[in-house]
Amino acid sequence: MLMLKANPQHTGSIYNLHRKAKQEATNASRKDAKSLTQIYTTNTSLVAILITTIAFAAAFTLPGGYSNGAGSEGLPVMSRKVAFQAFLISDTLAMCSSFAVAFICIMARWEDYEFLVYYRSFTKKLMWFAYVATTTAFSTGLYTVLPPHLHWLAIAICITVALLPILTKLLGEWPVLSLRFRLGKTFNSDLLDIV
């Protein structure tokens, strides 16, 4: 509004007015970004700590338990099964990635604006990876302990759990996908951040 009222013969004052308005808008957007990032950081760190706790507990309460036999005391009973090894790998990946997200959320409280802008998509990807690894650990843990005559149930559980992240992703992006479907070729994905 001040730009409209400015005298065109005073170009120096118009330039200063433009620069001041631009600086105020930039400062306001940075303040909003920091506020939203703090809320996002609090929620994300809580979920990351919960996943870390679940993965840590699952690592010490192994499926099938521990052996009591002579010479193999304290070793996992199911250690030779491929499903058990897949459980250990996915559980470790879930714990490490969610722990990394929690640490990044602690660093996000710093005042570096560029870090606050770019860390969000990275933590989303890491949290997604932790989610997939946690569901994989769950299904492979159940697959390990189910008896051979319930093989159909083990496979059904694995398929159900494998579909869960896919369905979650689709439901999370449903508004964008429906907009893309309705707009067809006129849809411009550069305007949206669906990372």
Region 13-29: what's the mean pLDDT? 70
DSSP state of 70: T
Cα gap 160→80, rounded to integer Å: 25
Cβ neighbour number for residue 164 with a 10 Å cutoff: 15
Q: Determine, yes or no, domain membership for 28.
A: no
In a domain, 83, yes or no: yes
What are the tens digits of pLDDT across the range 73-128? Answer: 777 878 788 988 999 999 999 999 999 999 888 876 656 666 766 777 788 899 99
74-85 confidence digits (pLDDT tens): 778 787 889 889
pTM above 0.75, yes or no: no
Q: Is residue 15 part of a domain?
A: no
8 within domain boundaries: no
Q: Is residue 156 part of a domain?
A: yes
Is residue 5 a part of any domain in this protein? no
Residue 195 lies in a domain: no
Q: Which domain holds residue 88?
A: 43-61+75-186
Number of domains in the chain: 1
In a domain, 27, yes or no: no
Cα–Cα distance, 144 to 164 (Å, whole number): 20
Q: At what angle do helices 82-107 and 113-145 cross, to 10 degrees?
A: 160
Could you read off the pLDDT of 135-192 as tens digits, one per residue?
Answer: 999 999 888 888 888 889 989 998 999 899 889 888 888 887 787 777 776 766 655 5
For residue 94, what are its two tokens? 């879930």
What confidence tens digit (pLDDT) does each residue in 52-72 have? Answer: 999 999 988 888 888 887 777
DSSP label at 108? T
